[in-house]
Chain A
Amino acid sequence: MGSPARTGRASRADARALVLDRLSDAMERLFASGSTYAGLTVEAIAAEAGISKSTFYFHFEDKGALLAETLRNVQDEFLDTADRWLAADFGMSFDELGVRLGNVVAAYRRHRLLLAAVVDASARDVVVREAYFGSIHHFEHAAATHLRGGHEAGLLSAEVDPERTAAWLVWMLERGLHQLVRPAPAEDVEVVADTLTRLVWRAVYARPAAG
């Protein structure tokens, strides 16, 4: 295992990861029981996670730092579904697009309480906002690359501007996940996702009608 110094660092990193997991789960539980991000205190999160406040502050500067880091983990999962859509071949079928966008919507639904808290917090907390906007820009960039791939393959209509169309679509998706998917009753999520698929399909993937 190497020198004692290295072991020390590794075990501190392990301990931190463990604490982060417990705190993240505690935060999601608190959101699920109706807490808002603004109303959460470090004390309440630590108590829910069963750790002391001093342990919290040993690892994290404040509530915003915890949220930013939790968010990175959740967003990795969420962005992974988005990446799988945008890294796919542009020549995908309507049904394939439906599955991929369905996965994006489902990943958002799974973590909607946390992700909604992030949207709220990003209005005021700089650390959270930067992490959040960073992921949006990553998403915008991936979408633009995907659309340019469509042009190169001769599958995307020349009139579609890849960068700006990607930007509009990503912000539509960002807002729609928050405003439409998050509050929707479970039985309505599919309609919202299906309509999204059809709008995106028509906007970029569909070919002109023959004749």
Chain B
Amino acid sequence: MAPPSRVGPRREQGREKLLRALAAVVEELLDDGAEYADVTVLELCARADVSRSTFYLHFRDKGDLLVAMTEDIQAFFVDIVRTWWEADTNMSPEDMGETIGLLTGAYVTHEGLLRAVMDTAPYDDAVASAFGGMVATIRAGLEDHVRRGIAAGHLDPGLDPGATAGWLVCLFERGLHQLMHRADPDEVDALTEAATTLVWRALYADLAAAA
């Protein structure tokens, strides 16, 4: 966020309005199958009927716009996973299913923008840093959850909390990106159920000892 001394309330309002207009254009383009990487600022401005100078008054570049457009969505993902990591570590399959259903549902709803984030992050520092921040927050929360679960005797003490959180983040980060793409609602349900069983067994199920 820019320093308040430079940005008065009017300009802030203008930015919000512009952001909404551009976001609507971007979502429409992505829904039509465009890649964010191929969309130009010129095209966005033409479609949103704003001048390029107005665009650059508020956004540094397309990456900056993407970060602004996805701030709320990324915060929403953190909130969903927060209900998981703050929950009792003796989690039922039903609770697990509810959390994972929220995750897959949120992903499907915002797929276009989230794909744009993941596709852009490898070569845009601002996008990578926003996405990396979200992932790090989620990972730290899950690590804490696993640590508490082991201390409470609910989780397998053979699991390293940091590594477990790391693998779980990878499961969702890449799995959502690769598997949800063009999945119809039945397939989304089946994938949600499979992930629920997988994660619930991996963490919480009362299973025979490994040895």
Contacts and interface: CB of A to CB of B under 8 A. Distances in A.
Interface in B151-173: 156, 158-160, 163-164, 166-167, 169-171, 173
B207 A206 contact: yes
B190 A161 contact: yes
Given A172-B171, A174-B174, A175-B173, A161 B207 contact: no
B57 interface: no
Interface in B70-129: 119, 122-123
Interface of B: 119, 122-123, 156, 158-160, 163-164, 166-167, 169-171, 173-175, 178-179, 190-191, 193-195, 197-199, 201-203, 205-208, 210-211
Interface string A171-208: 11011100110000000000110111011111110111
Nearest to B195: A168
Interface in A65-116: 94-95
Contact of B210 (A123, A206, A208): A206
B131 to A, nearest CB: 12
Contacts of A120: 122
A165 B171 CA distance: 11
A191 B179 CA distance: 28
B138 to A, nearest CB: 13
- A-side interface size class: 35 or more
B167 A176 contact: yes
Interface of A: 94-95, 120, 123, 157, 159-161, 164-165, 167-169, 171-172, 174-176, 179-180, 191-192, 194-196, 198-204, 206-210
A180 B170 contact: yes
Contacts of B202: 199-200, 202-203
A179 B171 contact: no
